[in-house]
């Protein structure tokens, strides 16, 4: 796992992207990157403030793709960062924090999920990554037998193999 804090300075951030791209090309195992990338991948991941630079979004998406990384998505708040409130202007919200992985990590942890937790003492929401899918919450649900199952040609074999 690599923790990421991309600089707000575009020049320094681009240098870090180059270093991460080199790492991606030389890595032979599962890889997870998590943190503040200080960039958005789509104009819809920003609310408020001035116009979104679509070219910057496209460059970031291309960088993710060129590194052969997968955005793991999220559950929870659409935005992970809240900007300051300036007098007479609308507050800015962005999804700058994310989790990316390579294909090997995603295959190994196919049930993994990223949850955006409530913000407390920061302008960023923390991310919680769980590698196992959540267990069913209703464990007391009664078993229901469907008579149509018996019509399947392998029914007896499946029951024997799985309930012995």
pLDDT tens digits, one per residue of 1-28? 999 999 999 999 999 999 999 999 998 8
Fold of 2-134: Deoxyribonuclease I; Chain A (3.60.10)
Cα 61 to Cα 20: distance, rounded to the nearest angstrom: 14
Contacts from 124-130 at CB under 8 Å and sequence distance 24+? 124/36, 124/80, 124/81, 124/96, 124/97, 125/76, 125/77, 125/79, 125/80, 125/81, 125/97, 127/34, 127/74, 127/80, 127/97, 127/98, 127/99, 129/32, 129/34, 129/72, 129/99
Helix (H, G, I), strand (E, B) or coil at 34: strand
Q: So where are the chain's domains?
A: 2-134
Q: Is the per-residue pLDDT at 65 higher than 90?
A: yes
Cα separation, 57 vs 50, in Å, equals 15
The pLDDT > 90 percentage for the chain reads 70
- Report pLDDT digits (tens) over 31-52: 999 999 999 999 999 998 888 9
């Amino acid at each position: 796992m690599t923790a990421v804090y991309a600089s707000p300075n575009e020049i320094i951030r681009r240098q870090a992207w180059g270093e991460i791209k080199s790492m991606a090309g030389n890595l032979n195992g599962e890889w997870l990157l998590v943190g503040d990338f200080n960039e958005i991948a789509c104009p819809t991941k920003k609310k408020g403030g001035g116009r979104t630079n679509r070219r910057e979004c496209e460059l970031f998406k291309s960088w993710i793709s060129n590194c052969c990384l997968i955005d793991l998505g999220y559950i929870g708040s659409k935005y992970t960062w809240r900007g300051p409130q300036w007098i007479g202007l609308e507050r800015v919200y962005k999804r700058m924090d994310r989790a990316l992985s390579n294909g090997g990590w995603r295959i190994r942890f196919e049930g993994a999920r990223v949850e955006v937790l409530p913000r407390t003492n920061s302008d960023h929401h923390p991310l919680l990554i769980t590698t196992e899918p959540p267990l069913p919450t209703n464990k007391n649900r009664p078993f229901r037998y469907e008579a149509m199952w018996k019509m399947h040609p392998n029914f007896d074999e499946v029951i024997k193999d799985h309930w012995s």
